[in-house]
Structure 1
Amino acid sequence: MTVDSPVPSDSLVRVNLATGVLRGSVRGGIARFLGVPYAAPPVGENRFAPPAPVSPWTGERDATLPGATSPQAPYLGALHELLPNPIIEGPDFLTVSIWAPHAPAAPAPVLVWIHGGSLTRGSNAVPLYDGTAFARDGIVVVSVNYRLGAEGFSVLDGAPLNLGIHDQVAALRWVAENIAHFGGDPERVTVCGESAGGASAAALMVSPETRGLIHRVIVQSGPLHTDSAHKGARFARAIARTLRIPATREAFAELSLAELLAVQNRVEASSSPLTGGAAFQISTDPELIPVSPDAALAAGVAADIPLLLSTCRDEYRLWFVPDGLVNRIRRWHITAARLRFGVSARTIRVFRRARPESRPGETLGEVTTDLMLRVPAYAAADARLSHGASTHVCEFAWPTPVHDIRAGHALEIPFVFDRLDDPAALPYTGARPSQDVATAMHGAWVAFIRGETPGWPEWDASRPVGVVGAPGRPVIETVHGPREPERASLARDLA
């Protein structure tokens, strides 16, 4: 394999792609190429259609500044303060941003990052996704933008399902064809995502469209289950009812991006973690995702791909605590929720005995965290063990003092990217986050991407979990089957 050696000009570097010349920047031995198109802008005839090829450009394309972000609104409520989310307008947003060691001596492993944001927010312009620390450690980082919300995950007559996942597949194909120009090895690609990005990573892992494009996977706090397109159509149907139009590609395409986003925001505002409501989701799809990822993993699909599954100790607290929802939940809410999801009264008693001081909202949050994330992750690891597949399981446990969120959802991101000194991290981590924890968490991800052990044993019958950052404990500690009574009782309910 031939690795291009970009020619520096002052602080600039240039790379020749089949579509044209890119001009990036170099600082501290790290090359950056931002807003690089992997597909044509999804507007006009390309709207609600699979991603189209990039048109070649003439001259040099500037890749020194972040590109446009997928159409989206700011986060609502306290999340707006805690999660930085820049919005950059423009139609050319199907792009990747790349951080790479400048002119590496040998092809480097590649990390493809799929951002989270409930399939409605996020981009590769988020400051905490800056890949400098990974590039410093010899890894090429590719951060992917994809269509969000109604543009990317509506279920519409006449349109393909999961257009946002189609975009991610197109980005992976772009990586396979082009990453060698940036010093990356297309035969050592790790796909990693958090939350909705983690769910995307799991879907990509089991998709027949990505075989040979992915060699390792990290799922951070990502649900492993996808529902049918019928269930996935709820949000698009709610938009259609609001506008009194049919839920078809033709009708939605007649709306401008701004009009559709405005209605999407109105529908979203009527939903909450307590009342439920419509939400976008990844749907099972005969072409891309014929079987839900949890079922596919249980059947041995992708058993040849090493997997790291990570959750945060207190996932639910990001949604339940800052806006006071945790204080509004009563015991009857727990009863309604457990009946809806098939959770027994016995299991609720097990959770209460484990935390007798917990308020009803905290009990419901703990059950919800395990129901959505921890129990499915352990079940997937158990199933993969029976197929001889390599799996590691991690729990992030460092507690932020901000709003008493503790180790809440998404808190691990600035630790994974070793970005604690970024001002964007401070609203969530507080003023004194642990650099030792960041060094350990980032180092574990680097090791896994390189094909090494992350710092704790591979999953086996004893259920070893690498717990990172627990107060008063070693920075990384192997704990076998943490909180096993709760997990076991809930798993019996779901069996």
Structure 2
Amino acid sequence: MAVTESRKPSEPGSSELGPSAPSEPSAPEVRTGAGVLRGRREAGLAVFRGVPFAEPPVGALRFAEPRPVRGWDGVRPALAYGPPPPQSGVLGVSQDVAGDDWLTLNVWTPEPGPAAGLPVMVWIPGGGYAMGDSSLPEYDAGHLAGSGTVVVTLNYRLGVEGFAQVGGAPANRGLLDQVAALRWVRDNIRAFGGDPDRVTVFGQSAGGGSVAALLAMPRAAGLFHRAVAQSVPGTFFSPELAADIAAACAAELGVEPTVSGLSAVDPALLPAAGDAVFAKTLQWRERWGQITHRPIPFAPVVDGDVLPATPWRALAGGAARDVGLLVGHTRDEHRLFSLIDGVLGQVTREQAETALRMLAPGPDGASRYRRAFPEAADEELYELVNADWLFRMPSLHLADAQIAGGGRAHLYELTWPAPGLGGALGACHGLDVPLVFGNLGTGQTAALIGDPSSPAAEELSARIREAWTAFAAHGDPGWPAYDADRRLARLFDTPSTVTSYPEEASRLLWRDHTFPALPLLAGQ
């Protein structure tokens, strides 16, 4: 594979692609296994967008494992992001790009060509396994790649298409899409200047959960060498629970929860079915339990094949002992969701008791929380138990599982309180994303940082990017590895410090919890 610099308009590509766009001066061209791509120069980087890594999963390929992309003749422009996969509309995110070529990725590289040998970072977007789009401005990787790293961002199937337990279809199709993208990286990234033997996967929220799942998946073994898991959700489903949710979504559409039944439904209509089902969460509480409290319709399924075990069990058994792990969370993980739900500053004692009763571990978890935090008011307890159940303790336990299995882990917590919105959200869920990418004034999280961003925010972002890229390059983010005795963690703040993990009261409450696959309950 080779890279060239195009200096004249190319011949038209294949009829399937349409005519190639006129070349720009010094537009970079890279030959992949499927054909030649032309990108563009941006701020000293070569950028390739909308690169297909698998065939569109529609028609005969609907609900199937991803199929390798077919080759093309001529030069394929890689100038625009691919269309996002069909996804939930609960947050009102606009999908302006139409099309079914959902399985695409994007590459930023400072030095295309097989001789560069740069570390590679592959970003998996979050969004509750129901939303996610690599074209979001907060995922622009110019700042990260500018430090001497090849960065790849990708799309994968979501919701019913990607994660529902569908009769006749493989489980975890969204995860299989991610594996297909990693195989593409292994086979092609050298031509973009990347080292296929130094690949780091990183992701946040559902992206962090995907990273955790990939660590446990035999199909992903050897495709990456380090992993950064940001705010890992603890929600992994049993096949029975996932199948029951899929049946409810299919019933909403009047079809069977099978490949033949759901394939008759336009892909654009499927997300609305999931939204409709989880708009009626109380109806399902006795069957689905905890996921109706913080509505979570989709998650990876511990099916015994694609995903043989939960990440915590797999890592404790040594499944990823040869993969370096950087994992952590924000301090105030749930406060953003309280804002979205309209309860921020208004949580009642009844709401706090419901959350404690449903989420706290053990038969007397609610009373144990109140004893552990005797000065906490109802709202603080509500925030704590939600944050601990969904993100904080799953992330901590992933580090514990990794070292128990003989691997190496580094732990962090983002404690810097965001100044935006009057400081009401603190170090909330998602705050790490603009800091990691360095895009402080763009995207959905820009309001958290403040406009304009402060010098302190810029400095903190630079330090986090430095840690992430150093970890990708040589496995050391700049602070000691985590162990069961000292439990050292980097607290990202202004200034940052290294200290014992600060959420000790929560750690003790959850010490014996194993984060098993969530079951289908017996209630009707």
TM-score, with structure 1 as normaliser: 0.91
Q: How far did 1:224 drift?
A: 4.9
Give the structure 1 partner of residue 151 of structure 2. Answer: 141
Change in 2 beyond 3 A, CA 1:322/1:338: closer
CA contact 2:201–2:224 (8 Å) conserved in 1: yes
Q: Which moved more, 1:97-106 or 1:306-315?
A: 97-106
What letter matches 2:486 in structure 1? S
Q: Deviations over 1:287-333 (max 9, x none)?
A: 22101111111122111111000201101011012442234533333
CA contact 1:4–1:183 (8 Å) conserved in 2: no
What aligned pairs does 1:72-91 form with structure 2 within 5 A after superposition?
72-76=87-91, 87-91=96-100
CA contact 1:225–1:294 (8 Å) conserved in 2: no
Residue-pair matches, total: 480
Give the structure 1 partner of residue 327 of structure 2. Answer: 309
Change in 2 beyond 3 A, CA 1:86/1:261: closer
Q: Which moved more, 1:373-382 or 1:301-310?
A: 373-382
Give the structure 2 partner of residue 71 of structure 1. Answer: 86
Give the structure 2 partner of residue 200 of structure 1. Answer: 210
CA contact 1:415–1:437 (8 Å) conserved in 2: yes
Give the structure 2 partner of residue 345 of structure 1. Answer: 366
Q: In the aligned structure 1, how far is the partner of 2:87 from the partner of 2:181?
A: 20
Give the structure 2 partner of residue 36 of structure 1. Answer: 51
Q: In the aligned structure 2, how far is the partner of 1:50 from the partner of 1:56?
A: 19
Q: Which moved more, 1:239-248 or 1:309-318?
A: 239-248
CA contact 2:434–2:446 (8 Å) conserved in 1: no
What letter matches 1:299 in structure 2? G
What letter matches 1:345 in structure 2? A
Q: How far did 1:488 drift?
A: 0.9
Change in 2 beyond 3 A, CA 1:275/1:286: closer
CA contact 1:457–1:464 (8 Å) conserved in 2: yes
Residue 461 (structure 2) pairs with residue 438 (structure 1)? yes
Q: How far did 1:375 drift?
A: 2.3
What letter matches 1:53 in structure 2? P
Give the structure 1 partner of residue 489 of structure 2. Answer: 465
Q: How far did 1:8 drift?
A: 4.3
Q: Deviations over 1:325-360 (max 9, x none)?
A: 23453333333333334342342224532x53x3x2
Q: How far did 1:15 drift?
A: 1.1
Q: In the aligned structure 1, how far is the partner of 2:90 from the partner of 2:278?
A: 11
CA contact 1:161–1:283 (8 Å) conserved in 2: yes
Change in 2 beyond 3 A, CA 1:85/1:180: farther
Q: How far did 1:17 drift?
A: 1.8
CA contact 1:350–1:486 (8 Å) conserved in 2: no
Give the structure 1 partner of residue 63 of structure 2. Answer: 48
Q: In the aligned structure 2, how far is the partner of 1:279 from the partner of 1:338?
A: 21
Change in 2 beyond 3 A, CA 1:368/1:491: farther
For residue 6 of structure 1, give the secondary structure of its aligned residue in structure 2: strand
Q: In the aligned structure 2, how far is the partner of 1:260 from the partner of 1:465?
A: 42
Q: In the aligned structure 2, how far is the partner of 1:144 from the partner of 1:313?
A: 27
Q: In the aligned structure 1, how far is the partner of 2:250 from the partner of 2:88?
A: 19
Q: How far did 1:134 drift?
A: 1.8
RMSD, aligned α-carbons: 2.3
Change in 2 beyond 3 A, CA 1:423/1:128: closer
Change in 2 beyond 3 A, CA 1:271/1:23: farther
Q: In the aligned structure 1, how far is the partner of 2:250 from the partner of 2:90?
A: 23
Q: In the aligned structure 1, how far is the partner of 2:45 from the partner of 2:490?
A: 30
What letter matches 1:28 in structure 2? A
Q: How far did 1:74 drift?
A: 4.1
Q: Deviations over 1:151-200 (max 9, x none)?
A: 11111111111111111111111111111110111100001111111111
Identical aligned residues as a percent: 37
Q: Deviations over 1:404-433 (max 9, x none)?
A: 111111111011011124365422322234
Give the structure 2 partner of residue 240 of structure 1. Answer: 250
For residue 327 of structure 2, give the secondary structure of its aligned residue in structure 1: strand
Q: Deviations over 1:436-476 (max 9, x none)?
A: 1101111110111111421221102210110001xxx52x2
Change in 2 beyond 3 A, CA 1:259/1:383: closer
Gaps of 5+ in 1: none
